[in-house]
Amino acid sequence: MRNIAIAIILFIFGAAMGSFGCCQVWRIRKKDKSKWSHCMSCGYRLMPIDNIPIISWILLGGRCRKCGKKIGYAEFLSEIFMGLLFTGAFLLWPEKEMLLKLQHFEVIKFFIFLIETVLFEIIFIYDAKWKEIPTKILYASVAVAAVFFGVEIWQCLSMGQTVFWLSIALGFLILPGFYYLMYKISNEAWVGGGDWILCVALALMLGDFWLCMATLFAANMIGTIIMVPFTLMRGKKQARIPFGPFLIAGFLVVFFAKHFIIRFIGL
């Protein structure tokens, strides 16, 4: 019963954060510093009733209340997805027992993870739309990941577990290292400068060589499956691929399948 209540609260909270994140994407793009959300075409200032995640979008049929211009599916989908992600994070949390026992390190890690996913949401949408990653958000994601990493190390040490520094270091070598190399070799032709920095954040969140390896693999798999039809449709000229969304998708899969992957590799 308690878990269901938590799951529902997290869904609502996640949807609200999804709406917030999506809004930030446009603010960053348009360098908008105004305090209120407003319609992008007529400037109508959104009332609280227009700001209820998911529900407002459905009630208004995805249109602005005043001018009727379409708002777009990105908002709606990101609200639903972030709601599901927050709930999913709770239900699929790798150290769920510790989380349910409210072990304080684990609870702190859980909330840092949620904050990080909102930054990832912004990176995901921005990179998918414009093939670049806003620098401020990128560095913020590295900073948040560094805090997560710090808490995890502290947790390990306080529980008397060994910290596998070599595995962590090799993780950095394989994930950000690979994208950095690609970026340097191709002179930004295949891989953008933001991707390897995003990978630094991912490596900090994963803190393990095999998990970094799995993320690299998953990201490229997802990327290939999605990009191949696109490339075939457009034919010839191959543009730079926005790796951000694939890296984030790969990371999420690996993060929640952590124990399965480690067991699979036989460590």
Q: Which of 13, 26, 44, 190 binds Zn ion (CB under 5 A)?
A: 44
**Residue 202 near Zn ion by CB under 5 A:** no
Burial class (CB in 10 A: 0-12, 13-18, 19+), 153: middle
Near Zn ion by CB under 5 A: residue from 42, 58, 181, 239: 42
Contact segment (CB under 5 A) with Zn ion among 15-23, 42-50, 176-184, 201-209 equals: 42-50
Under the binding rule (CB under 5 A), the answer on residue 211 touching Zn ion is no
CA–CA distance, 109 with 149 (Å, rounded to integer) = 9
Min CB(87)–Zn ion separation in Å: 31
Burial 204-221 (b: 16+ CB within 10 A, else e): bbbbbbbbbbbbbebbbe
> What is the C-alpha to C-alpha distance for residues 80 and 76, in angstroms, rounded to an integer?
6
State in angstroms the smallest separation of the CB of 39 from Zn ion: 3
Close Cβ partners of 134 (under 8 Å, ≥ 6 residues apart): 28, 122, 123, 126
- What does each C-alpha distance from 76 to 22, 180, 247, 256 come to in angstroms? 9, 34, 22, 24
Comparing CB distances to Zn ion, the nearer of 39 and 168 is 39
* Residue 47 in the binding site for Zn ion (CB under 5 A): no
Q: Residue 10 or residue 71: which is nearer to Zn ion going by CB?
A: 71
Interaction residues for Zn ion, span 48-87 (CB under 5 A): 64, 66-67
Q: Is 39 in the site for Zn ion (CB under 5 A)?
A: yes
Among the candidate windows 43-51, 110-118, 195-203, 231-239, which touches Zn ion by CB under 5 A?
43-51
Q: Which residues bind Zn ion (CB under 5 A)?
A: 39, 41-42, 44, 64, 66-67
